[in-house]
Amino acid sequence: MKQNFSAVFIGLILVVLAAFMTTVIAIRKIDAKQGCFGHLELAANANTVELAEKELGTAINYIEARGWTSGYTSVIYRTEDENVGFWYNNLKNARGITIP
């Protein structure tokens, strides 16, 4: 009976942990959509250069505030399409800011 209780307890802990991690990931995804990716979409769809620069600036500020200026999105296997530094520099250059 004690062994059965332990298995149920461990299973419950794993379910709670999985639910917590899923919630955190969903919240971070929503935050990134509102703070960065949404502004990049607005910049791409802007009718004026000024509006595009404003939206691009908002996205760049969000990226810099979170330190998303270098590294890779993958954990184990790295490919160039996951190079965060490239995308950050590309956005900065699109805005006309030179990178030293």
d(CA 75, CA 1): 41
CA-wise closest residue to 55 among 70, 40, 69: 40
Mean pLDDT of 57-84: 90
3-class secondary structure per residue, 38-84: HHHHHHHHCCCHHHHHHHHHHHHHHHHHCCCCCCECCCCCCCHHHEH
pTM tops 0.85: no
What are the pLDDT digits (tens) for 21-42?
999 999 999 988 999 999 999 9
d(CA 35, CA 76): 27
